Amino acid sequence: MNFTGLSAFPITPATMDGRVQTDALVRVLERLRRPDLGSVGLLGSTGTFAYLTRAERRRAVSVAADVLGSSVSLMVGVGALRTDEACALARDAAEAGANAVLLPAVSYTPLTQDEAFAHYSAVATASDLPLYIYNNPSTTHFNFDVALIQRLAQVPRITAIKMPLPAQGNLASDLARLRSTLPADFAIGYSGDWGCAEALLAGADTWYSVIGGILPEIALRLTAAAMAGNAAEARRIDEVLAPLWALFKAHGSLRVVYAMARQMGLTDCDPPRPILPLDDAACREIAAATEPLAR
């Protein structure tokens, strides 16, 4: 199984009362059944894991395992506020056919570094699957110290990390510094679609991608160019996507991809309330930004 390259994060269409719409989920996932895709990241932030019950999350994993089969690696988000619940979700994911689990440091009471270490260690032993650290401070508000990442990289089965784009400074030097402190086979990837062409060009192992979950073609072309070192082509494609990146920043990528999924006829489901669907003006901007990509 290949977990590097493009990791596509799809939405999980669900009714207003939180029931996963498996027919729509199948339509979303069929577009991702491609051997050139590194992995599918089900039930990530874009997959609204935080808003779905354990039973619905398990149902979504089963559907994804059926649709993707052995053609694409399936990573499943197992974030939960309680350690025991995250462990149960990891066991569920393993039983339902996942190939890896992704764990965000979800918190309400802000966690200490030691608490996060204990949480990750517990979930790593809950199943036999590799565990990816999902470092997502814009939603979890937890910040990993480098020392914590180093400790976690020593824990069996913890094999990779998804990093946020650096708030300031230079991604390439940040990545080089981080890589120098971690085992050679520990994979480092990035999310934040608008910065990921540069992240891949700088040598990141994985692009954890929102756009990859809805428009896999163009994201795969960007990834292939960047990983082949073709900076001009990667940046050309990135520039084509720039209007969409601007909308991601303005509205949040989750709201934008829900509007895209509706425009593409994949689902009529809206994001879970309290998140609201975007208004007509924003939807028109999204349609205008995506229209050239379909050509």
Q: Which residue from 1, 118, 228, 288 is in contact with a second copy, where contact means CB under 8 A?
A: 118
Residues 248-277: x where in contact with a second copy by CB under 8 A, - otherwise, as a string: ----x-x----------------xxxxxx-
Catalytic residue among 51, 108, 132, 134: 134
Q: Does residue 134 carry a catalytic annotation? A: yes
81 binds a second copy (CB under 8 A): yes
Q: Interface with a second copy includes 112 (CB under 8 A)?
A: yes
Residue with tokens 């709201």: 255
Q: How far is the CB of 47 from a second copy (least distance, A)?
A: 11
| Region label for 164, one of left (φ > 0), alpha (ψ between -120 and 50) or beta (otherwise) | beta
Binds a second copy (CB under 8 A): choice among 30, 55, 71, 82: 82
Q: Residue 48 — left, alpha, or beta (φ > 0 → left; ψ -120 to 50 → alpha)?
A: left
Q: Are 140 and 105 in contact (CB under 8 A)?
A: yes
Stretch that binds a second copy, among 27-35, 138-146, 177-185, 259-267 (CB under 8 A): 138-146
Q: Please indicate if the annotation marks 46 as binding a ligand.
A: yes
Side-chain-side CA neighbours of 110 within 13 Å: the count stands at 5
Q: Which listed residue (108, 120, 132, 162) is catalytic? A: 162
Q: How many residues of this chain bind a second copy (CB under 8 A)? A: 36
Residue among 52 and 215 whose Cβ is closer to a second copy: 52
Q: Concatenate the DSSP letters of all residues of the chain into one string.
A: ---SEEEE-----B-TTS-B-HHHHHHHHHTT--TT--EEEETSTTTTGGGS-HHHHHHHHHHHHHHHTTTSEEEEE---SSHHHHHHHHHHHHHHT-SEEEEE---SSPPPHHHHHHHHHHHHTTSSS-EEEE--HHHH-----HHHHHHHHTSTTEEEEEEEPPSSS-HHHHHHHHHHTS-TT-EEEEE-GGGHHHHHHTT-SEEEESGGGT-HHHHHHHHHHHHTT-HHHHHHHHHHTHHHHHHHHHH-HHHHHHHHHHHTTS--PPPPTTSPPPPHHHHHHHHHHHHHHH-
Stretch that binds a second copy, among 28-36, 64-72, 114-122, 157-165 (CB under 8 A): 114-122
Among residues 28, 64, 100, 116, which is the contact residue for a second copy, using CB under 8 A?
Answer: 116
Q: Does 119 bind a second copy (CB under 8 A)?
A: yes
Residues in region 196-255 near a second copy by CB under 8 A: 252, 254
Tell which one of 51, 224, 230, 240 touches a second copy (CB under 8 A).
Answer: 51
Residue with smaller CB distance to a second copy, 38 or 77: 77
Our answer to whether residue 120 is catalytic in this structure is no
Given candidates 107, 150, 166, 178, which one binds a second copy under the rule CB under 8 A?
107
Query: Taking CB under 8 A as the criterion, which residues in 12-31 touch a second copy?
Result: 16-18
Residues near a second copy (CB under 8 A): 16-18, 45, 48, 50-51, 81-84, 106-112, 114-116, 118-119, 122, 138-141, 252, 254, 271-276
Residues tagged in the binding site annotation for pyruvate? 46
Residues carrying an active site annotation:
134, 162
